[in-house]
Amino acid sequence: MKYYSSFRSLQQDLRQGTTSCLAMVDYYLNRIENHTHLNAFLDVYADDARTQASRVDAKLAAGTAGKLAGMVIGIKDLLCYADHGVQGGSKILNGFVSQFTATAVQRLLDADAVIIGRQNCDEFGMGSSNENSAFGPVRNAFDESRVPGGSSGGSAVAVQADLCFASIGTDTGGSVRQPAAFCGVVGLKPTYSRVSRWGLLAYASSFDTIGPITRCVEDAALILEVMAGADEQDSTVSQTPVPAYSEKLTSGGLRKIGYFRESIDSEGVDESVKAVLRQTIERLQAEGHTLVPIDFPLAHYYLPTYYILTTAEVSSNLSRYDGVRYGYRSPQAVDLDSLYRLSRTEGLGSEARKRILLGTFVLSANYYDAYYTKAQRVRRLIKEEIERHFQEVDFILYPTTPSVAFPLGEKSSDPLKEFLADIFTVQANLTGTPAISLPLGKDRQGLPVGIQVIAPAFGEEQLLAFAKSLEGITEPQLTM
């Protein structure tokens, strides 16, 4: 099967009949089977996917097919798909089957996409390396001794290794963009509230977003326009109309772009990452754009604020996994108290337990104001800081991650090191702004480097058009 670098090129072949949706599904099923060592998929829906593909082929022949006809998509194991398992990468949801379909997933299905399976991730989205999954780590297909990033690690590797056409991940603090950067693919985090969260297993509800991981910007734009928009089931979702992003990808002329000065000066950022950022800046300058260095004096507060607020929210959101209502129940329990205690201790992994304890602490009566209330205030200041910058510049540019993909096990023993990997991604989640990670270079060993572009809230249309004008320095890469 030939490699399609965009959905548009696949659509041409589908129209001409040189391939079919069923042929695509069979191709991916075969590739998934030959790459099980990457551990990207937790469940593969072979029969369902083939049935759906035949239906789509009939629609293609009849000329009634939807926008995503022929697109074979994998979904992160945090998104509900009725009558299919969902576990959030956790043992505590063992055997749990979705009762309904997430709005985002339903809209993909309604547009005639095919869902091929669910993808491995860090437990309930907590992690940056996919080493916190109850189902074992995912491996980066470029170098299997390295992490794929997280928490949507399985979703990024599935696109990187051509195990499906595109993936749907979730981004609470970088989990779409960071693995996309480590795997050399495109990852888009939409504005908070752009896509309904109905049917997404909650991690930190005021941060969680659903976003596509794709091989090119145009595909990300297309998937976003299908998933986004008002939904009766989620009262927090925006009513703002959804533009046809994929049809508006022509660049808006010369722009003023800020770049995060510290990301180019800091010793904590790999030389190879800085080099790719510098090259990107020089290229944009050469094209006539105005590039200005900008500072974020509050940057040192991003990670503490993020980890106080998200642990608070996760301790509340995960309280529903009590051993009574869903999934795993400890066989050792003798009374109600031990039922809760043992089911949660045995059912949740160490990272989830650690964050629940931290969150319970910051929400406790004696510390609530000192931590939770204060962090809420700092979050507001961080939001105001970025809004001030966006009065001056159209976009902000900086690396997605301070390093390339690191070796498995390197950071799992040092939580602080792992948290630092999120330094450049959490800003967009604290402020609700949209951000995209683009594979714009490589280090000396050939490992991908991701560069991030951030736009003002609901600026996806401009963001995607600008991102499209930037892509193409490196070709999407396929591993064998």
CB closer to ligand GLN, 155 vs 246: 155
Nearest in space to 43 (alpha carbons), one of 85, 11, 71: 85
Minimum distance between the CB of residue 32 and ligand GLN, rounded to whole angstroms?
A: 24
| Phi, psi (deg, nearest 5) at residue 193 | 85, 5
Minimum distance between the CB of residue 54 and ligand GLN, rounded to whole angstroms?
A: 35
CB closer to ligand GLN, 132 vs 343: 132
Q: Which residue matches tokens 């304890």?
A: 357
C-alpha distances (whole Å) from 469 to each of 22, 185, 188, 263, 401 are: 33, 16, 15, 23, 21
Q: For this structure, is 76 an active site residue?
A: yes
Catalytic residue, from 76, 411, 442, 468: name it: 76
Catalytic residue, from 128, 167, 175, 315: name it: 175
CB closer to ligand GLN, 49 vs 309: 309
Minimum distance between the CB of residue 30 and ligand GLN, rounded to whole angstroms?
A: 30
Q: What is the bridge-based pairing of β-strands 395-399 and 256-260?
A: parallel
Identity of the residue numbered 256: K
- Alpha-carbon distance of 308 to 189, in angstroms, equals 21
Which residues in this chain contact ligand GLN in the complex, by CB under 6 A?
Answer: 125-128, 151, 170-175, 203, 310, 422
Minimum distance between the CB of residue 174 and ligand GLN, rounded to whole angstroms?
A: 5
Minimum distance between the CB of residue 423 and ligand GLN, rounded to whole angstroms?
A: 10
Sheet holding 114-119, edge to edge: 41-44, 114-119, 72-76, 166-171, 209-214, 186-189, 435-442, 448-454, 395-399, 256-260, 290-294
CB closer to ligand GLN, 170 vs 246: 170
Q: How is residue 249 written in tokens?
A: 């990808």
Asked if 40 contacts 120 with a C-beta cutoff of 8 angstroms, the reply is: yes
CB closer to ligand GLN, 225 vs 313: 313
Enumerate the H helices of 137-258 as residue ranges.
153-160, 177-183, 217-227
Integer-rounded Cα Rg, in Å, for the chain is 21
CB closer to ligand GLN, 119 vs 151: 151
- Alpha-carbon distance of 389 to 458, in angstroms, equals 16
Minimum distance between the CB of residue 162 and ligand GLN, rounded to whole angstroms?
A: 24
CB closer to ligand GLN, 151 vs 196: 151
Q: For this structure, is 20 an active site residue?
A: no
Minimum distance between the CB of residue 288 and ligand GLN, rounded to whole angstroms?
A: 35
Q: How is residue 316 written in tokens?
A: 């509340």
Catalytic residue, from 128, 151, 167, 437: name it: 151
Q: How many CB atoms lie within 10 A of CB 256?
A: 12
Nearest in space to 116 (alpha carbons), one of 172, 49, 53: 49
CB closer to ligand GLN, 284 vs 358: 358
- Alpha-carbon distance of 246 to 359, in angstroms, equals 40
- Number of helices (H), then strands (E), in the chain: 16, 11
Minimum distance between the CB of residue 424 and ligand GLN, rounded to whole angstroms?
A: 11
In order, the DSSP letters of 378-417 are: HHHHHHHHHHHHHHH-SEEEEES-SSSPPBTTTTTT-HHH
Nearest in space to 281 (alpha carbons), one of 272, 268, 292, 265: 292
Q: How is residue 341 written in tokens?
A: 């205690």
Residues marked active site are found at 76, 151, 175
